[in-house]
Amino acid sequence: MTLLLGLVLLSFIVTSIFMVPFIDLLFYLKRRFERIQKEVKTSETPIHDELMKEDENTPTGAGILLILILIILSFGYTLFSPSIDKVALMILLFTLVSFGSLGLCDDIKLILTRRKGKFLGLGRRKMLILQLGLALIIGMMLYFIGGLNNIYISGLGNFIINLWYVPLAAFVIVAFANAYNISDGLDGLSAGLLLICLFAFLALTVQGLDLTLASFIGIWIGLLFAFLYFNIWPARIFLGDGGAFAFGATLAVVGLLTGKILALAIIGGMFVIIVSSSLLQILSKKILKKKIFPISPIHMYFKYIGWEEPKIVTRFWLAQGMFAILGLWIALLSR
């Protein structure tokens, strides 16, 4: 436990040291680009554009720094700890790098096209196809290399699903990658929700004596504390698609590695609610030819009806805390 707390503190200190000069660098790049490219492309969501107008001058891209720190510190820790499960760590880092790179490509295209609001850089269809491809690769790594082929549901028992595990894992990974990205719309919201989820999984992995996952989560928690200081309202920096896709997918893999898929869905309950609200809006427009909400996802709806941003974020954090406790309780019952 002492070593684990030390990793949290080390990660926090390292991230804090590099965060301010990195923010200054992003501001410099943003100003320089705006002098070169004057055209601004708008999205097809004018309500969303108006609600997000105050965030147009805040730089995006913190995920680049956070992913690098998480990779370097995780690799560094393996040099001093031979008991680390290198297979599990490899899968975690592959997820982080692959989905982070995919999101970074999206960020770069967004910058080059100078968007306003929800203008998706690579397009929804291309992005989803690429995500599914990466998620299937990760699912096969979990199945063939990690040896995972089962799901455990508390009260029902253990189910061996063999090769069906691969598409199930891919679905979970894609779902959480997009859920995190969709939740990254208000200052501090997604990072705070993730931090609460990670504390639940940290307790679960410590209980199960899983040193690899516990150390990785500890490093992740430390850098999120440092990032959240600059990301809460009014935010000085945003995570960006690179960090959002990487963190969402990696959270899913953490849950899959614990073998607690049901607990993952409950611990990440607010992410599930947020992505479900967007899915309902999409299905409503496709099938019913009308919107259920004036705007989605659900946190943007609350902002639309007049709730103050810090109030929305804080209440979502509180709800996430209760989901995390419930999910952790269910997971521990099944031990």
The answer to whether position 151 is within a domain reads: yes
Mean pLDDT of the chain: 86
In whole angstroms, give the CA distance from residue 143 to residue 269.
25
The answer to whether position 29 is within a domain reads: yes
pLDDT, mean of residues 18-39 = 76
User: Left if phi > 0, otherwise alpha if psi is -120 to 50, otherwise beta: which for 210?
Assistant: beta
The answer to whether position 48 is within a domain reads: no
Structure tokens at 181: 């990205």
Alpha-carbon torsion, ordered 93, 95, 101, 105, to 10 deg = -170
Classify burial at 78, counting beta carbons within 10 Å of its beta carbon; exposed 0-12, middle 13-18, buried 19 or more.
Answer: middle
Q: Are 102 and 132 in contact (CB under 8 A)?
A: no
Q: What is the DSSP string of 187-209?
A: TTHHHHHHHHHHHHHHHHHHHTT
pLDDT, mean of residues 42-54 = 54
Helix or strand holding residue 169 (H, E)? helix 165-183
């499960």: which residue's tokens? 85
Give pLDDT tens digits for 186-204.
999 999 999 999 999 999 9
The answer to whether position 42 is within a domain reads: no
38 vs 74 pLDDT, higher one: 74
The answer to whether position 45 is within a domain reads: no
Backbone angles phi, psi at 159, to 5 degrees: -120, 120
In this predicted structure, the answer to whether residue 111 has a pLDDT above a threshold of 60 is no
Q: Are 326 and 263 in contact (CB under 8 A)?
A: no
Provide, rounded to the nearest whole percent, the portion of the chain with pLDDT above 90: 55
The answer to whether position 180 is within a domain reads: yes
Strands 157-160 and 150-153: antiparallel
Structure tokens at 91: 């899968």
Give pLDDT tens digits for 246-303.
999 999 999 999 988 888 999 999 999 999 999 998 888 888 878 888 888 999 989 9
Give pLDDT tens digits for 49-94.
555 556 567 888 899 999 999 999 998 888 888 788 889 999 999 9
Position 254 scores a pLDDT of 96
Question: In total, how many domains does the chain have?
Answer: 1
Structure tokens at 319: 């709800």
Give pLDDT tens digits for 310-331.
999 999 999 999 999 999 998 8
In this predicted structure, the answer to whether residue 37 has a pLDDT above a threshold of 60 is no
What confidence tier does 117 reach under pLDDT thresholds 50, 70, 90?
very low
CA-based nearest residue to 196, from 87, 312, 325, 28:
325
114 vs 64 pLDDT, higher one: 64
Q: Structural domain of residue 282, as residue ranges?
A: 2-36+58-333
pTM score: 0.90
Strand ranges for the chain from DSSP E: 41-42, 115-116, 150-153, 157-160
Position 61 scores a pLDDT of 85
Structure tokens at 162: 């063999």
The answer to whether position 124 is within a domain reads: yes
In this predicted structure, the answer to whether residue 129 has a pLDDT above a threshold of 70 is yes
The answer to whether position 43 is within a domain reads: no
Position 36 scores a pLDDT of 53
Backbone angles phi, psi at 116, to 5 degrees: -130, 120
DSSP 8-state secondary structure symbol assigned to residue 208: T
CA-based nearest residue to 66, from 180, 165, 162, 143:
180
Q: At what angle do helices 211-231 and 62-80 cross, to 10 degrees?
A: 150
In whole angstroms, give the CA distance from residue 193 to residue 201.
13
């699903």: which residue's tokens? 161
